[in-house]
Amino acid sequence: MNAKFRHAMSPLRIGPVTIPNRLVRTAHATLFSRGDITDAHIRYHLARAKSGVGLSIIEGVSVHRSSSYSLTMTDDASIAPLRRLVEAMEPTGMKLFQQLWHGGSIEIAPNGGPPWAVTALPGRYSRMPAIAMSTRQIAELVRAYGDAAVRQAEAGLHGAEVLAGQGYLFSQFLSPRLNTRTDAYGGSFENRIRILEELLSEIRARVPSSFALGARMGASSEPTILRVEEANEAILHLERKGLLDYVNISQGDYYFHVERYAGMDQPAGYQVDVTREIGKGVAIPRIVVGRLGTLDDAEQVLRTGVAEMVNLVRATIADPDLVRKELEGRAEEVRPCIGCNQGCIGGLFSGRMGCTVNPTVGYEATLGEDLITPTQRRQRIVVVGGGPAGMEAARVSALAGHDVTLFEAAPDLGGQINLASRLPKNHGIGDITKWLEREIFRLGVEVHLSSYVDAGEVLAKKPDVVILATGSMPQASGTLVQTAAPYIDVRIDPSARILTSEELIYADPGALGRSAVVFDDVGHYEALGCCEHLLERGLDVTYLTRHAIFVPEIDKTGRAQAALRRFYRMGNFRILTNSLVLSVREGEVEWRPIDGVRAETVPADTTVLVLYREAFRELWDACAETGLKVYAVGDALSPRDLVAAMREGHLCARSIDDPTIEARWNNM
């Protein structure tokens, strides 16, 4: 055992099951499977198991027709696919539990109809009222949980976890505010916890004694819904009844949903304090969650005694080899999770989980980095541009054994990320470019900084492949072409103070005035960061956009919700959606709704324009005409975000030795 991580790497007994260490990957949606476990799902978990994680709790399964989820455990046909997953993990020593799930009023039923819930009250983001469960339906659901747990045991899983928090069905029953029932399942604490007691007892009575049983529980983001003290009381009650072998403490629900998976605006271990309160007096093993990303984080938390196990989900999504690397003393080689939530949480809205910093997530069978082998034909690769796309392309090319040279025009590597990291609450985004920089130097990439190269200088290196990662530039100043209305000639007064986001970062705060408009055509973090930058300096801020909601590309990650909670407490902040700019004058912006006719004005001593950038690709034609193999990646292909930059840089480099990969990304 590595003495540095004595607590983290020590075994732990969870009821009848011994896990080899205290590192846990708790249940998280991936959408890699629909109905039954797929090969992609198995390879995803196997990559993390091989690194040395002690326990994985597989994402939830729907146990009953009244609530839908991507995985189901409603009949015996689900046993064999799950058994394949168990058998694949068995040689690694990692133990496997799985979450049993029912959304209550949060999710509709699989047939598109209303779900079963504690009452008919819709959930926070529900589309329809629920069906208030009858006592007969409660009994049916309790049996369904028992049936599902039996199937899990038959498949070879080592345990099950009942999702009893995070705003789903059983936390709705526990809530004295949401549970307005007048029968045996409502009213007193004993009644509100009755359904949870019954189904845990049902499972206990039907699974083998070797099968562990736990629950994921926590308080509401809104204390009047379910207080910390009430969550603690519920855990202690179930523990006294002998119904739980462990508890997975996770704070938050849909009343402030980002609390469950906060991004880079929250520190590592942000749930430690509330875990201490919810887990007070609890003797069974407790799991703590909350942006813990390294074995050092895990060790420090375990030493405090706040929990006996530490969750490392997002950290091991970013780098499946995290545990092995750290135990081998290679912590600096661990690819960091930057807490952006764009690939993992945001990816689910696009159909499947991914990872901003690790493009191979979910594709381990075909793109896992363990599949990168020394090339049979070493080639000279020239990369122009040292932002994330260029550095990722250089890193992966060097991993395969190619001779790689990288040119960067600026004096530092990092590209646009160097600017993005200067915006409020966004400094963590720079962790990935710092890691990329360390890796390309470790792998022997020849790097030339402050080197603005032309085609002749590129060709002088006699490259076999040229990768253009030259990034993008702001639109020409003095004009404003709006995506929603390119036919409008926006009148811009020469006396108006107009800035790009980059200019705002370096602007004299004293020259900004008292009010500002941030016009956002893009809908990503850039506008959010500009708003916060201005609010921190005491300005009244109006966010004006063509979009229907505030920064829609970030809204899906939860970070927009967290930002709005800050903004409305910081000062005078206003949102104007579905809107256009008509003119920018000294001290004000004239605007109207996209489909409106009446113009209005809003004060603006400073106007910040967040517009789509223009690809910087002047080397493309000159290099392509030579007959060389030339690729453009990231913003040089089309200005987008970090997800696209990392993905294209990675796939471009992989396609050098495997041309079949090229079709996945190259539109040139």
**pLDDT tens digit sequence for 366-410:** 999 999 999 999 999 999 999 999 999 999 999 999 999 999 999
Q: Where are the beta strands (DSSP E) in 23-92?
A: 23-25, 55-62
Nearest to 548 by CA among 535, 539, 565, 560: 560
Q: Chain-centre distance of CA 210, in angstroms?
A: 34
**Residue 591 in contact with residue 580, Cβ under 8 Å?**
yes
Q: How high is the pLDDT of residue 632?
A: 96
Q: How high is the pLDDT of residue 1?
A: 58
Q: Please compute, for residue 546, the number of CA atoms within 13 A of its CA located in the half-sphere on the CB side.
A: 17
Which token pair is 193? 């916890």
Which token pair is 154? 């038959």
Nearest to 343 by CA among 568, 594, 641: 641
Q: How high is the pLDDT of residue 63?
A: 94
Residue 585: Cβ-neighbour burial (10 angstroms; 0-12, 13-18, 19+): middle
Packed helices 79-89 and 39-49: angle between N→C axes, nearest 10 degrees: 30
Q: How high is the pLDDT of residue 136?
A: 97
- What DSSP line would sit under 526-573, residue for residue? HHHHHHHHHHHTT-EEEEEESSSSSSHHHHTTTHHHHHHHHHHHHS-E
Q: Please compute, for residue 411, the number of CA atoms within 13 A of its CA located in the half-sphere on the CB side.
A: 0
Q: How high is the pLDDT of residue 600?
A: 97
Please list the residues that pair with 34 across neighbouring strands: 36
Q: How high is the pLDDT of residue 477?
A: 67
**Residue 458 in contact with residue 619, Cβ under 8 Å?**
yes
CA distances from 265 to 248, 250, 343, 584, 615 (A): 23, 18, 16, 32, 29
Provide block-wise average pLDDT over 10 residues at a time, the chain (668 residues): 88 98 97 89 96 96 88 93 96 97 90 93 87 97 98 98 96 97 98 98 98 98 96 98 98 91 94 97 98 96 97 98 97 97 92 96 95 96 98 98 98 97 96 98 98 94 96 84 94 95 96 98 97 98 98 92 95 96 97 97 98 92 86 96 97 95 81
Distance CA 558, CA 423 (A): 18
Residue in the structure block whose two tokens are 């003095």: 478
Nearest to 23 by CA among 216, 291, 230, 294: 294
* SS3 label, residue 485: strand
Distance CA 637, CA 369 (A): 24
Q: Please compute, for residue 639, the number of CA atoms within 13 A of its CA located in the half-sphere on the CB side.
A: 17
